């Protein structure tokens, strides 16, 4: 019999709705991946072997957190649109005792704290002008793409070496730790970026492991943690020398922005060129003004205006006192000179 996807989902929904067991459940487990919005609460309920996705209305559930032992009352819903089962919780009883995973996390955090993994004094400065970067992440994820894109934009000469690992699931923590150890053995990178994108608490669990935290702590090469999207915090972040909100930010923090520096240099050169040109123009204007003044006082130009210059015994006659009766004087004009004898001297009345 051939049916559509919608017909299949409607049939499954009918089976779920008619099942008396699934319509009235009481399930105990540990809370995980709690997300609370204005109207809804989403979380995962798990035990040691499996888990189920749950949701409820925000006004029905109060005080829920990750790592709590709870008893949830509700029913199974089948979401036709997505073809997915979900446990709708109408009531939740919270046990004061911590969940097993939460307890293990707190115990591990205390152990790592005692060892000094998170101490600020044990951290080293992360270089901001790396020439060779080691990256521990998945080869198929967006993390390596984002880092390569940012680094290429800032400084295309930087080499990036990828150590590909699983970033979630069984054995991911050991692979990540091995990646950090690999770069320390090779010792030819300036910095190590450990990263993955965002995810649920269970997705990020490898970065909350003892193996990864200790590998970061024991690294002789500076380690930058770029796990999640800012809202997530892991032991890898605490142990690292620098924790960044995103892989892109990590790429920015460890590289020098050569392109921006070039633009700043070009801008400064253009400014210097403008200032120098303005100075040259000012000097040229000053020279031109001086030449005009000198030209205006040039005796030859004075003569061109119809004036004459009288010289007596080689000296320019400036007033009547420079002349005596009988003096032979030279009268210079624009086109020559004439010689005259002083016969009479008349002063101003």
Residues 119 and 235 in one domain: yes
Nearest Cα residue to 71 out of 92, 49, 45: 92
Do both 232 and 262 map to the same domain? Answer: no
Tell whether 219 and 170 lie within a shared domain.
yes
Question: Is 311 in the same domain as 246?
Answer: no
The DSSP code for 22 is T
In a domain, 348, yes or no: no
d(CA 146, CA 59): 40
pLDDT at 289: 85
- The terminus-to-terminus CA distance of the chain in angstroms comes to 140
Q: Where among 53, 72, 98 does a domain terminate? A: 98
Q: In the prediction, which pLDDT does 304 show?
A: 67
Contact 236, 194 (CB under 8 A): yes
230 lies in the same domain as 240? yes
Q: Is residue 349 part of a domain?
A: no
Of 71, 98, 125, which one is at a domain's C-terminal end?
98
271 and 205, same domain (yes or no): no
Query: Domain count of the chain?
Result: 4
The verdict on 186 and 197 lying in the same domain is yes
Token pair 């499996």 in the structure block, residue = 50
* 66 lies in the same domain as 119: no
Classify strands 242-243 and 25-36 as parallel, antiparallel or unpaired: unpaired
Q: Report the chain (349 residues): mean pLDDT per 10 consecutive residues.
A: 88 85 86 88 88 90 84 89 90 76 81 89 90 93 92 92 91 94 91 87 85 93 85 85 91 88 84 88 86 73 70 78 77 76 74
| Whether residues 151 and 225 fall in one domain | yes
Tell me, yes or no, whether 252 and 118 share the same domain.
yes
CATH of the domain at 17: 2.40.50.140
Domain shared by 90 and 192, yes or no: no
CATH assignment of the domain containing 114: 3.40.50.2300
Q: Are 167 and 138 in contact (CB under 8 A)?
A: yes
Q: State the residue range of the domain holding 252.
A: 104-256
Opening angle at CA 180, ends 177 and 184, nearest 5 = 135
Specify if 346 maps to a domain.
Answer: no
- List, edge to edge, every strand of the sheet that includes 328-333: 315-316, 309-312, 328-333, 336-341
Assign residue 46 a region (left: φ > 0; alpha: ψ between -120 and 50; beta: otherwise): beta
Say if residues 222 and 126 touch (Cβ distance below 8 Å).
yes
In the listed set 77, 98, 119, which residue is the last one of a domain according to the structure? 98
Residue 239 sits in the same domain as residue 287:
no
Does the residue 347 lie in any domain? Answer: no
Q: 30: burial class by Cβ within 10 Å (0-12, 13-18, 19+)?
A: buried
135: its two tokens = 């990256």
Q: What is the pLDDT of residue 97?
A: 65
């Amino acid at each position: 019999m051939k049916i559509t996807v919608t017909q299949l989902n409607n049939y499954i929904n009918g089976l779920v709705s008619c099942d008396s067991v699934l319509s009235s459940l009481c399930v105990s487990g540990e809370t995980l991946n709690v997300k609370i919005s204005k109207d809804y609460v989403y979380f995962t309920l798990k035990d040691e072997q499996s888990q189920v996705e749950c949701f409820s209305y925000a006004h029905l559930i109060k005080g829920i957190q990750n790592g709590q032992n709870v008893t949830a009352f509700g029913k199974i819903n089948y979401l036709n649109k997505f073809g997915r089962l979900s446990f709708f919780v109408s009531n939740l009883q919270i046990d004061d005792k911590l969940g097993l995973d939460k307890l293990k996390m707190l115990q591990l955090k205390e152990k790592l704290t005692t060892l000094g993994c998170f101490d600020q004094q044990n951290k080293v400065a992360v270089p901001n002008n790396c020439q060779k970067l080691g990256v521990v992440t998945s080869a198929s994820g967006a993390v390596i793409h984002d880092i390569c894109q940012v680094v290429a934009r800032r400084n295309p000469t930087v080499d990036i070496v990828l150590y590909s690992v699983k970033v979630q699931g069984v054995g991911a923590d050991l692979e990540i730790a091995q990646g950090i150890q690999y770069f320390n053995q090779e010792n030819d990178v300036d910095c190590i970026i450990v990263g993955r994108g965002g995810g649920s608490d269970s997705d990020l669990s490898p970065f909350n492991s003892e193996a990864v935290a200790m590998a970061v702590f024991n690294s002789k090469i500076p380690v930058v943690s770029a796990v999640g999207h800012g809202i997530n915090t892991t032991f890898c972040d605490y142990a690292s020398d620098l924790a960044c909100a995103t892989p892109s930010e990590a790429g920015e923090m460890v590289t020098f922005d050569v392109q921006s520096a070039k633009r700043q240099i070009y801008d400064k050169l253009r400014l210097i060129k403008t200032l120098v040109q303005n100075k040259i123009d000012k000097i040229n204007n000053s020279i031109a003004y001086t030449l005009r003044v000198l030209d205006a006082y040039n005796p030859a130009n004075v003569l061109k205006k119809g004036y004459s210059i009288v010289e007596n015994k080689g000296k320019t006659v400036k007033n009547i006192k420079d002349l005596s009766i009988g003096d032979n004087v030279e009268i210079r004009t624009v086109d020559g000179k004439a010689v005259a004898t002083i016969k009479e001297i008349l002063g101003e009345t």
